[in-house]
């Protein structure tokens, strides 16, 4: 149990390469969860209201968006790209020469939310030193839930929605 007065930092724990975790400098300002339900319309098969008959065909994995993550290296004069952004970019880059997929992570913020991959990354460099060194970045990351039991180091994980240990907030 975490002491309620202790600030717990959110992080993405790298399941494939321990030690290459993505530690958030500041916690997210908001978390947005999205899930899509798939429905199939039967062509030519009408109900009494002349609408097509619709059948449930499954669900997509949860997508969790972390918005406006702030990374700052102004005080240390380091490049924010070298210290933080390049580590995050590994989550959306395959090792081309080896044909390996990007890593699988566990999103954790006080508790483990779920196993995931980075589905999209957007970053904006917002502050620079006089020599042009970027020292502040705003980052948005979208994570896609994956089944922790259905992937290997060489193939892409199958998105299912069965890999969560805890219910997501609101479930």
Domains and CATH numbers, the chain: 11-145 (2.40.30)
Tens digit of each residue's pLDDT (9 = 90 or more) over 42-68: 877 666 777 888 889 999 999 999 989
CA dihedral of residues 29, 145, 95, 69 (deg, nearest 10):
0
Instruction: pLDDT band for 71, please (50, 70, 90 cuts).
Output: very high
Cβ neighbourhood burial of 147 (10 Å; 0-12, 13-18, 19+)? middle
Which pTM does this prediction carry? 0.75
Tens digit of each residue's pLDDT (9 = 90 or more) over 120-154: 999 999 999 999 999 999 999 999 999 888 766 55
Task: Please provide the average confidence, as pLDDT, over all residues in the chain.
Answer: 83
pLDDT above 90: percentage of residues in the chain = 50
What's the confidence (pLDDT) of residue 161?
47
* φ, ψ (nearest 5 deg) of residue 86: -65, -30
Residue 93: closest CA among 65, 61, 121, 52: 121
pLDDT above 70: percentage of residues in the chain = 80
Residue 40 has pLDDT above 80, yes or no: yes
């Amino acid at each position: 149990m975490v002491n309620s007065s202790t600030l717990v930092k959110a992080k993405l724990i790298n399941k494939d390469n321990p030690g290459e975790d993505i530690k958030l400098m500041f916690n997210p300002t908001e978390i947005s969860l999205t899930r899509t339900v798939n429905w199939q319309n039967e062509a030519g098969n009408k109900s009494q209201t002349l609408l097509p008959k619709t059948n449930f065909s499954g669900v997509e994995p949860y997508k969790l968006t972390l918005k406006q993550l702030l990374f700052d290296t102004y005080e240390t004069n380091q490049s924010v790209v070298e210290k933080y952004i390049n580590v995050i970019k590994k989550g959306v880059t395959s090792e081309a020469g080896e044909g390996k997929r990007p890593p699988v992570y566990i999103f954790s913020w006080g508790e483990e939310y779920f196993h995931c991959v980075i589905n999209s990354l957007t970053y904006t460099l917002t502050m620079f030193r006089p020599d042009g060194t970027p020292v502040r970045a705003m980052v948005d990351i979208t994570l896609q839930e994956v089944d922790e039991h259905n992937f290997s180091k060489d193939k892409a994980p199958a998105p299912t929605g069965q890999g969560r240990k805890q219910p997501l907030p609101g479930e």
